[in-house]
Structure 1
Amino acid sequence: MSQDPLTKVPFEEPSWLVGLPNPLYKETHIRFQKAARAWFEENFLPYCMEWENAGELPKDLFDKFNQYNMLLPNLAPPLPVEWLHKSGVKDILGTPIEEWDYIHTAIWVDEIHRSGLAGPSSGLTAGFAYGIPPIIKYGSRQLQERFLPDFLTGKKRTCIAITEPSGGSDVANVETTAEKSKDGKHYILNGTKKWITNAIWSDYTTMAVRTGGGGAAGLSLLVVPLKVEGVEMRRLHCTGSKTGGTTFIELEDVKVPVENLIGEEGRGMFYVMNNFNHERLLIALGVARTSRVCLSTAMGYVMKREAFGKPLVEQPVVRHRLAKAGAELEMLQAWLDQFLWQMVHLPKQDADKRLGGLTALVKAKAGMVLNECAQNAVLLFGGNGFTQTGQGELVEHVYRDVMGSRIPGGAEDVMLDLSIRQLVKNYQRATEELEKSDGSKSRL
């Protein structure tokens, strides 16, 4: 007999998963959600806390995900059907790849984050989510033929390397240089990259480098091998996401074939910025589920924990905390559903133009919501929430992961500023075009 949705702990699931109507989710999405939840519950979720506490993922986990095509959902829809068919990939847990859209992607992101822990998922996904898409979108046919078959099937592993010790969100001022050799056959790379997720396990990286002068116009993207002479890597240990494989990379006279250029020289800033939209939306989707896990865990705790002779949930101050955090969470969820609808129905060019600034804003807001949910959960757990074992272990972990959503993918303050600058730019451009149009009509 199926469980009554009303027996779910409040805030445990988004509305469509507790039986409330939602026009966004069609039969194909419902089927995939059920298949994905069963797969993650068998192969991933029960072990995440153990892996995160140990700081390591099993060596065969990446291969297991790829065996079932379960990292492909990180790619920006529509999926690269031609390349996947060439590699023998036809479906993801029964969903045909031709059918895949951003709503399927969001479901996958939601399900993998049901552990509440950022580390295990980030330790698997960075290459597919951020490293491969620029090759699909902007790489030459030759470049795609060389790399996509191995990358898409997980035979080779990649990541993305943009951030440097001198700055993270200031992409236009990347300092790592890529100068052509005298014979013109190679770029010679020198510089450093920092906070690079998954790099320690990767064979290659999609890297932002300076091929020209200063500023954005001098940036390019290269596919850079990491297991070659001149590359030194060491793992960094962060506040949260212990299994994310965060890495420091040093490059000294590293030779990269000129054929590894993605797209055109000097177009790197555009490629990076376009890629960031997908990254930021994925972060926001994952953070929404993490917030949900954290808040519902606290909700379950206060309904059974007694103090002063009655359950904590009977204390008005406790209910007040839950209500404030819950309202923030459900508003974020509604905004993300709206985003998904727009991503599915807007032409890509319109989505890139009109949703870029808003994507930065929703990513920033998601981090704030997670902070609200995690902080309140720890406070409601009291001493148990301040302890790395026992009843409050999960919310303690989530609280340590909060900054991992507010900084990577674009630091929060930069995202807030970027969102308004982009909205103003769109307004000014549209106003200028309207004035030109009106002027032309008046002269007729």
Structure 2
Amino acid sequence: MTSRPIVPFSEPPYLAGLPSPYYKPTHLAWQKACREFIEKHLLENALEWDTLETLPEHVFATFAKTGMLLPSLPAPLPVAWLKRLGIHELLGVVKVEDFDYIHTLIYSDEMARSGLAGPSGSLTTGMSFGVPPIIKYGNKQLQERYLPELLTGKKRTCIAITEPSAGSDVANISTTATKTPDGKYYIINGTKKWITNGIWSDYSSMAVRTGGSGPTGLSMVVVPLKGYPGVTMRRLKVGGQVSAGTTFIELDDVKVPVENLIGEEGMGMKYIMTNFNHERLTIAIGATRTSRVALAAAMEYILKREAFGKPLVDQPVVRHRLAKCGAMLESQWAWVEQFVYQMTQLPKETADIELGGLTAMVKAQSGIVLNECAQCAMLLFGGNGYTKSGQGELIERKCPPQTPLLTLCLGVIWALLTSYPRNIS
């Protein structure tokens, strides 16, 4: 908690001095340590690096060396593996065996405090979404081959599901993995698009079609990327989080040992859907903090901006607009906190099923809230919010004309189409 005055809406209630039933002393110590580390090594230069569209390599190296990529994994952490690799605690304040989803919430919230998805996404997306299928479903030999380097950040990975003609429609993925006549290799052909972190990744946890049409024909395979025969990658310029390295991947007769199969053939849809739960939740946390950054920036601006002979904050219509967004924001944060608490109280296997649909909804709702808060900030900043430099630069970056509506539409569509893992046989 802080005793100094803060801008309204700039911090979640538990950091603004209000009581909360969720946060134990270990969580508060973790928040303090996280903020200090992330501010120093990421946030101080996040806007500059996002403008340059790439983080310097030393940033990833610093996060990897200190174990600060690991909190992006689903909780509980892979304790046995981490201890085997000599990792017993994070930032000296939380033991790996004590790490729960509230620690995850704090980490994800702190990583998003720049208000930009790209800088944090460039660091964590591969660890957060690409490594878990290997941990959860990979057999011993697969884990032995890949986890030591991936968990320590010596190698990088990504999750490769989306294709030019199959994004939310996961069941219609067309990239094929056909076994050679001797049964020793998969020959992979197809394309993957909008793959975050792909351009920097040594490997990918990739969705491929090993069987017939529909969800039962899907599998997941670890596919080498950088410099691997038959793999061509190029970076895509996108309207948001450009610094996260969105990538187009072409696969032309890529030969991969069958030992790279994650789990069992034909189970890929189930693996993908359960993996989405963690992805959706961390996106919801980040989007909610991004809403907070936008609204707090607008609040700070109207306190000093004068128009028609008085500060903007004295205009009732301005206060009404902020209050409406503030109510949405704090309601969304309360839902996120409640949801994360439920994650700490349920066995992981139960949570994957019981909370699957709710995870999709909390993510979709975070897009709706972000849309409102970003639009509000842009409206109140006026011309300054449309300028790529100066006091409105962050708002312009967060809210180009198409971004809020796009975020909303994608969030809702994704939720409706991919809500319920329990329906996957």
TM value normalised by structure 1: 0.92
1:68 correspondence with 2:95: no
| In 1: Cα distance, 2:60 partner to 2:82 partner | 18
| In 2: Cα distance, 1:146 partner to 1:402 partner | 42
Q: Secondary structure at the match of 1:393?
A: helix
Tell me the CA shift for residue 184 of structure 1.
1.0
Tell me the CA shift for residue 4 of structure 1.
2.8
Q: Contact 1:364 / 1:406 at 8 angstroms: preserved in 2?
A: yes
What is the aligned partner in structure 1 of residue 28 from structure 2? 30
| In 2: Cα distance, 1:414 partner to 1:283 partner | 12
| In 2: Cα distance, 1:156 partner to 1:3 partner | 38
What is the aligned partner in structure 2 of residue 335 from structure 1? 335
Q: Contact 1:169 / 1:411 at 8 angstroms: preserved in 2?
A: no
What is the aligned partner in structure 2 of residue 387 from structure 1? 387
Partner amino acid, structure 1, of 2:243: T
Tell me the CA shift for residue 396 of structure 1.
1.1
What is the aligned partner in structure 2 of residue 251 from structure 1? 251
What is the aligned partner in structure 1 of residue 85 from structure 2? 87
Tell me the CA shift for residue 402 of structure 1.
4.4
1:414 correspondence with 2:408: no
Tell me the CA shift for residue 159 of structure 1.
0.3
What is the aligned partner in structure 2 of residue 99 from structure 1? 98
Q: How does 1:261-272 map to 2 (within 5 A)?
A: 261-272=261-272
What is the aligned partner in structure 2 of residue 145 from structure 1? 144
Tell me the CA shift for residue 414 of structure 1.
3.4
Tell me the CA shift for residue 418 of structure 1.
4.6
Tell me the CA shift for residue 349 of structure 1.
2.5
Tell me the CA shift for residue 272 of structure 1.
0.1
Deviations 1:149-190 (A, max 9, x none): 000000110000000001200000100000001111100000
Tell me the CA shift for residue 314 of structure 1.
0.4
Q: Contact 1:196 / 1:248 at 8 angstroms: preserved in 2?
A: yes
Tell me the CA shift for residue 404 of structure 1.
7.7
Q: Contact 1:241 / 1:404 at 8 angstroms: preserved in 2?
A: no
What is the aligned partner in structure 1 of residue 215 from structure 2? 216
Deviations 1:252-282 (A, max 9, x none): 0000000000000000000000000000000
| In 2: Cα distance, 1:313 partner to 1:416 partner | 38
Q: Contact 1:283 / 1:405 at 8 angstroms: preserved in 2?
A: no
Q: How does 1:38-77 map to 2 (within 5 A)?
A: 38-77=36-75
| In 2: Cα distance, 1:98 partner to 1:369 partner | 34
Tell me the CA shift for residue 16 of structure 1.
0.3
Q: 5+ residue gaps in structure 2?
A: none
Root-mean-square deviation (CA), in Å?
1.6
Q: Contact 2:157 / 2:204 at 8 angstroms: preserved in 1?
A: yes
289 and 9 in structure 1: CA distance in 2 versus 1, 3 angstrom threshold: same
What is the aligned partner in structure 2 of residue 429 from structure 1? none
| In 1: Cα distance, 2:404 partner to 2:266 partner | 35
Q: Secondary structure at the match of 2:157?
A: coil
Q: Secondary structure at the match of 2:249?
A: strand
What is the aligned partner in structure 1 of residue 374 from structure 2? 374
What is the aligned partner in structure 2 of residue 122 from structure 1? 121
- Structure (1 or 2) with the larger CA radius of gyration: 1
Q: Contact 1:197 / 1:244 at 8 angstroms: preserved in 2?
A: yes
Q: 5+ residue gaps in structure 1?
A: 427-444
**Between the two proteins, what is the percent identity of the paired residues?**
60
Tell me the CA shift for residue 412 of structure 1.
2.2
| In 1: Cα distance, 2:350 partner to 2:10 partner | 34
136 and 13 in structure 1: CA distance in 2 versus 1, 3 angstrom threshold: same
Q: Contact 2:3 / 2:17 at 8 angstroms: preserved in 1?
A: no
1:303 correspondence with 2:303: yes
Deviations 1:28-57 (A, max 9, x none): 000000001011121111100100111111
Partner amino acid, structure 2, of 1:85: K
Q: Contact 1:287 / 1:405 at 8 angstroms: preserved in 2?
A: no
| In 1: Cα distance, 2:261 partner to 2:412 partner | 31
What is the aligned partner in structure 2 of residue 158 from structure 1? 157
Q: Secondary structure at the match of 1:114?
A: coil
Tell me the CA shift for residue 405 of structure 1.
5.1
| In 1: Cα distance, 2:134 partner to 2:238 partner | 29
| In 1: Cα distance, 2:173 partner to 2:125 partner | 20
Deviations 1:37-89 (A, max 9, x none): 01112111110010011111101211110111001011111100111111111
Tell me the CA shift for residue 391 of structure 1.
1.1
Deviations 1:393-433 (A, max 9, x none): 111111146478557xx7422313554x679x79xxxxxxx
Q: Secondary structure at the match of 1:243?
A: helix
| In 2: Cα distance, 1:189 partner to 1:414 partner | 27
| In 2: Cα distance, 1:239 partner to 1:263 partner | 36
Partner amino acid, structure 1, of 2:212: G
Deviations 1:84-120 (A, max 9, x none): 1111111111111011000001100011111111110
Q: Contact 2:115 / 2:398 at 8 angstroms: preserved in 1?
A: yes
Tell me the CA shift for residue 122 of structure 1.
0.8
Q: Contact 1:240 / 1:404 at 8 angstroms: preserved in 2?
A: no
Q: Secondary structure at the match of 1:220?
A: strand
| In 1: Cα distance, 2:30 partner to 2:120 partner | 19
Q: Contact 1:117 / 1:398 at 8 angstroms: preserved in 2?
A: yes
Q: Secondary structure at the match of 1:159?
A: strand
**4+ long deviations beyond 6 Å:** none
